[in-house]
Amino acid sequence: MEAAACRLRGADEEFWRAEGDWMTRIGPASAAVTADLETPRELLLESPWGLGAENLDWFAWNSILRPRCTQA
- Concatenated DSSP letters for 31-68? HHHHS-THHHHHHHHH-GGGG-HHHHHHHHTSSTTSPP
- Cβ–Cβ under 8 Å, residues 51 and 26: no
Residue 72 pLDDT: 46
Which pLDDT tens digits describe the chain residue by residue (72 residues)?
778 888 888 888 888 888 888 888 888 888 888 888 889 889 888 999 999 999 999 888 888 887 765 554
Query: What percent of the chain stands above pLDDT 90?
Result: 12
